[in-house]
Structure 1
Amino acid sequence: MRGALGGGSRARQNAMRSGLVVLGAAAFGYLSFRVGFKPYLDRAQEAMDDTTHHGSASGAAAQPDHAGEEDDVATSKDPAVVLRD
């Protein structure tokens, strides 16, 4: 009788350990993907931001006093540059 109760506890521990290993492997894979493809992901994000930013003509018409600065805002990573407008 005691072996059956202990076996259930051991099975639960093994299942929890396996789940933890799977979650750790998934997290490691995700982080590896992000680090390995970071340059490509950054370029894709900048390209999407450029098309969104340059695609609307109303943005340039709404702020005529900032002529020629839209490229600085789109490529800048500085929060102060983005927030000043």
Structure 2
Amino acid sequence: MGGFVYILTNKPRGTLYIGVTNDIVRRVWEHREGLADGFTRRYGLKRLVFFERHETMLLAIQREKVLKHWVRQWKIDLIVSSNPAWRDLWDELQR
């Protein structure tokens, strides 16, 4: 089973959160419903602006750790490279 790395925000160029999961639909739904305690709920981070699938959870976790150490501008550049309008990708997960 693979894994996903994802980035949530509250608005374009707003606060960023990077997470990892093996079930992105469930996990993003938890964030959107306020069921995930902590940082995302405290800052209202519900907009999925980036995600990528990895073949294994180990690879996803490694990628998450790398991204978390990037400077903010690199993270913004990553998002803009695939989602320049910062649109919420939640609907795309539902298809």
TM-score, length-scaled by structure 2:
0.22
Structure having the higher strand fraction is 2
Max Rg structure: 1
* TM-score, structure 1 as length reference: 0.24
